[in-house]
């Protein structure tokens, strides 16, 4: 049957299967990269956007800070890096306490920097003070667990 159609004899070569698998794998990678469920950048959080943001993402870390705060400026770059590392799994936001007193007061923010970790809209942990990136990362993994571990 295939002798009359030589092109059909070549359809099921092992190379074709491997090429198909590679194409499917690459397509999945491109789809994941094109549409992460969490933004890779740090979101600006305000009194008016706070509730909507924490309800919109399953795992979110909000950094409460102020421009005049030296320790806050030390933590800021770590938050930016973690937002890139956890893109698609954890959302990061920054809330300036001088401009957003209502949110800061409602969570009893009395020292900055303070990180609040939310899981499905509920605050589950608080980290007060300037900590190195490794400590913040360990806390994220401990609090959010296996749901955010892949790829770090």
Number of CB atoms found within 10 A of residue 71's CB: 14
Q: Which is nearest to 68 in space by CA: 98, 38, 39, 46? A: 98
Q: State how far the Cα of 59 lies from the Cα of 83, in Å rounded to an integer.
A: 12
- Angle made by CA atoms 112, 116, 118, in degrees to the nearest 5: 170
Q: Which of 72, 95, 127, 130 is catalytic?
A: 72
Instruction: For residue 7, indicate whether it is catalytic.
Output: no
Q: Which of 43, 60, 69, 103 is catalytic?
A: 69
Instruction: For residue 69, indicate whether it is catalytic.
Output: yes
Q: State how far the Cα of 126 lies from the Cα of 117, in Å rounded to an integer.
A: 6
The Cβ-side half-sphere exposure at 38, using a 13 Å CA radius, reads: 24
CA distances from 16 to 1, 10, 21 (A): 21, 9, 9
Q: Which two tokens stand for residue 56?
A: 């919109």
Q: Which residues are catalytic?
A: 69, 72
């Amino acid at each position: 049957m295939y002798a009359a159609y030589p092109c059909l004899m070549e359809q099921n070569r092992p190379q074709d299967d491997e090429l198909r698998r590679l194409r499917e794998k690459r397509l999945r990678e491109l789809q994941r990269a094109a549409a992460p469920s969490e933004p890779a950048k740090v979101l600006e959080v305000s009194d008016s956007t706070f509730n909507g943001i924490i309800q919109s993402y399953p795992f979110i870390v909000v950094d409460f800070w102020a421009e005049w705060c030296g320790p806050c400026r030390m933590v800021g770059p770590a938050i930016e890096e973690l937002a890139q590392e956890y893109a698609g799994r954890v959302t990061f936001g920054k809330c300036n306490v001088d401009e957003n007193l209502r949110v800061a007061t409602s969570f009893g923010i009395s020292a900055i920097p303070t990180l609040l970790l939310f899981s499905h809209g509920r605050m589950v942990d608080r980290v007060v003070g300037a900590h190195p990136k490794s400590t913040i990362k360990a806390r994220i993994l401990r609090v959010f667990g296996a749901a955010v571990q892949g790829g770090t």
